[in-house]
A and B are shown apart, each in its own frame.
Chain A
Amino acid sequence: MSEKIIKTTGLYKSFPRKGGAAKTATHYCPGCGHGVLHKLIGEALHDLEIQDSAVMISPVGCSVFAYYYFDCGNIQVAHGRAPAVATGVSRATDKVVISYQGDGDLASIGLNETMQAANRGEKIAVFFVNNTVYGMTGGQMAPTTLVGEKTVTCPNGRDPMTQGYPVHMCELISTLKAPVFVERVALTDPAHIRQARTVIRKAPQNQKEGKGYTFVEVLSACPTNLKMSTVDTNKWVNEVMTKEYPLGNFRDNTAEAAEIVRAKSDFSKEALDKLFGAGKGDEKAASGEELPDVQVKIAGFGGQGVLSLGTMIAQAGLSVGRNVSWYPSYGPEQRGGTSNCSVTLATHAIGSPVIYRPDLLVAMNRPSLEKFKNDVKPGGVIVYDAIMGEVEMPAGIKGIAVPAQQLADEAGNPKGANTVMFGVIAALGVTRLPDVAFRNALANSFAKKPQLIPVNEKLLDFVRDWAKKNA
């Protein structure tokens, strides 16, 4: 007579990674709900034929070794970080992604990431095992511990006045718009387990169909830490725990939910260069010349155009085949704080963008001048705004006071104080860049307002003449 055999599927036959003598038994305590859930998920993976296309994310907690058991792709991640890793796997591949987390992992240390992943509607199936305690570490209070429930860290019972109230994950996640399916089940007696089985199969099924965030909370017995027999613990879950955590479906948009299809990201160098408007850099500068590095520090108040002046010098270098680096440093203020940037122009690869001894310092205000003037290399140049008045230069340093605003006004371009500084730098020759480099950079920086290019070119010429006479 032929037989139909109901047995465990979707899990490995033995668990050699576990070590020890009992390689065919789980590491879970007698009566633990984890084993029951492992079997149900394994069966679902097997029946849906997705073992080869599923990735299980194991958490930290009792189920840290879930990867010993599930016969599918496995990753074990840091405490509470399953949503982040699951997001990465789900977005980078077409795999069915399942995270398996306990109450400490998901509702405490991983609560933020859980809510964010749910809110983004990531294509992941989340199994949340709620047994009201931190099991692996010995039964400490968890976010889900019931009011009055005794644990090793609340030996008199959880007191809401000092420890707050139990956290309800299904209810929290149901406040978000994106999740597709949210349900709470219990793995206690056969009736509840059968009901749970249907729901547990739905989670990977949804992922197979690309339907988005599916959250299944599983009330599960921890006889060891609740210090009761398995039978009594299951009774306690049914009679006490479900009063705090009512079973049932909180959301089911499975039927309406369309498959989530995200735009493909293009991280090619060409796409990124285009996005950031960057030119080409190379190991060796395209010009083929070999020149010493030129290091420029530009400093001033935030809002004075310090950083953009730096990018213009870097762009000038790029446009004639130099390797360049541009390295900003600024305070948290959008306007008014101090700000500086370091620009290196080189014909070789640049090791570090940090500058300690600039060849050229452009100081837009006195505090910046005082802060950096003694760093300038002997023989170097300091260009500063003439508005500062009398300034004492360090020995061997050439100082050039530029009446930037006045020159801009005289040239009929009152918004061009920055271009004035740029023009002075061009005229000085410290950067070893040809004239065309500065014109290229000007055209590049006004690429979105081409009508401003001629007036700024005119200003550049005007400043060059001024610099010949004054610098």
Chain B
Amino acid sequence: MEIDKTKPYPVINPLECKSCSRCVVACPKQCLSIGKKLNERGYYAAEYAGTGCVGCASCFYSCPEPNAIEIHIPQKG
């Protein structure tokens, strides 16, 4: 999966995800989903589709885990 880093994108730390789905339903662009790979702690982590993120941070503010997700927004100039 290639992420387009010229546009905003989420960085998900799969180890920290508890698979609660808050981010999945929060995303207005439906570009997050629950993956099919178990992490070390036994959860199916959320995944980014690789495109579609607009940097709204709805997923970040919906996520209860402090270290599970970051939003990166490229700055012009």
Residue ranges of A at the interface with B (Cβ–Cβ < 8 Å): 1-8, 11, 13-14, 22, 24-26, 28-36, 38-40, 42, 69, 189-190, 193-194, 197, 223, 229-231, 234
Contact = CB atoms under 8 A, between A and B. Distances in A.
A32 B70 contact: no
B6 A39 contact: no
Contacts, number: 101
B74 A1 contact: yes
25 contacts: A3-B72, A3-B75, A4-B73, A5-B73, A8-B66, A22-B41, A25-B41, A26-B64, A26-B65, A31-B22, A32-B64, A35-B64, A36-B22, A36-B63, A39-B64, A40-B61, A69-B66, A193-B58, A193-B61, A194-B61, A223-B20, A230-B20, A230-B22, A231-B22, A234-B22
Contact of B61 (A3, A24, A36): A36
Nearest to A10: B66
A34 B64 CA distance: 7
Given A6-B57, A190-B58, A231 B66 contact: no
A218 to B, nearest CB: 13
B64 to A, nearest CB: 3
Contacts of B21: 31, 229-231
B19 interface: yes
Contact of B66 (A4, A11, A193, A197): A11
Contacts of A29: 18
Helix, strand, loop or mixed for chain B's interface?
loop
Contacts of B37: none
A1 to B, nearest CB: 5
Given A25-B67, A35-B64, A40-B61, 14 more contacts: A1-B6, A6-B57, A6-B71, A7-B60, A7-B70, A7-B71, A30-B64, A33-B64, A36-B22, A36-B61, A190-B28, A190-B56, A234-B22, A234-B25
A8 B64 CA distance: 10
Contacts of A231: 21-22, 25
B26 interface: yes
